[in-house]
A = this chain, B = another copy of it.
Amino acid sequence: MTGPRIDLVYRLRVAPEQSAQRAQLLAVEQSIEMPPEAVGDARVIDEVLARVERVESLADGTSLARLQLACETVCDDAGQLMNMLFGNCSLQPDVELVDIDVPPSLAQAFGGPNLGSEGMRRLTGVFGRPLTCSALKPIGSTVAQMAGLCRTFAQAGIDVVKDDHGWANQRSAPFAERVAACQREVREANAASGRRTVYAPSLYGTLVQMQRQIELARTHGVGAFLVAPLICGVATFNAVKREHPDLAFIAHPAFGGAGRIAPPLLLGKLFRLFGADATIFPNHGGRFAYPAEVCQDIARNSRAPWHSLRAALPVPAGGMSVERVPEIRREYGVDTMLLIGGSLLIARERLAERSRAFVDAVAAADEVLA
């Protein structure tokens, strides 16, 4: 294989003595998808057929297979990368995609975060402490209810107020009216407080629809968006990001599965590669079952040096509470955004107070650590 290539690690759940053959079948499946002996073109065998570099048996009975895939199969298209990494073999239950690395040319083609964690800090004016984030819930609310939540969160000093990921264009609060009202509340609260709370509406549909949503939201001054890359397709996410290099994109893990693609790869690396400035993931101890070390690996992959890509802000979420702020702060460090949603809303008429308690807890956690 002479051209640039992608390094892949798969976990194989087969008997150790079958792992070498299984890895070879996988290399065929994820590249030429036909018997190599039927290929007449020597170049295809030499340069396009994926190559098994190494297979190692692990103590738990599974094996790790390291493969190399030719970059020419991917065409700098994010969807096509997913197709080559895990298209057909996603249908085979004995394979998991554990990790990848890409050559600098591919990292540059996808481009990574527009703003990254540093840019998220400039956008919000927050330095030296984790950012705070909450969500506008529930779907079915009216525009007035959403706007009221926005005002309360912004007045309490929460840095990022995002639509819940279930918001699309529901008739109770259509995108156009919702975005206008929510952004107005945030703008007015910012004018009064001198802070820079950011409102991030949720994008939905196709690239063409998202282009219209962004155009409309920009007229109100919106500078950040929530997007679920596995719902809209990663090619659409990457295209939206590249078309709008001044905007921030917060990636939501919806439809990400429970581990067939290892979450540190999917949410930590791939979302960042395709353009997540911040990556929401289900923290341990909440409503989701990711172990603590998986969550830490997501955060590590979001921030570790990787080609020239900006770092993404990890956003532990999914059933967090104000009481857990010190623990989350200790675990994930300062370059983090803490997202608390339902656990604030449950305070109902004391939402403002509870939101300020969240903001104060983040500040206090840093004072304790300082």
Contact = CB atoms under 8 A, between A and B. Distances in A.
B34 A73 contact: no
Interface stretch (A255-263, A297-305, A331-339): A255-263
A18 interface: no
Interface string A339-351: 0011001111000
Question: How many copies of this chain sit in the oligomeric assembly?
Answer: 2
A43 B140 contact: yes
Contact of A170 (B73, B288, B346): B73
Interface in A39-74: 39-41, 43-44, 47-49, 70, 72-74
A206 B208 CA distance: 9
A87 interface: yes
A204 interface: yes
Instruction: Report the contact-size class of chain A (Cβ under 8 Å from the partner).
Output: 35 or more
| Chief secondary structure at chain A's binding surface | loop
A130 interface: no
Interface string A273-295: 00000000010000111100000
Contacts of A231: 79-80, 82-83, 87, 233, 235
B287 A90 contact: no
A256 B92 CA distance: 10
Interface of A: 25, 29, 31-35, 37-41, 43-44, 47-49, 70, 72-75, 77, 79-80, 82-84, 86-88, 90-94, 137-142, 145, 164-166, 168-172, 204-209, 228, 231-233, 235-236, 239, 253-260, 282, 287-290, 318, 341-342, 345-348
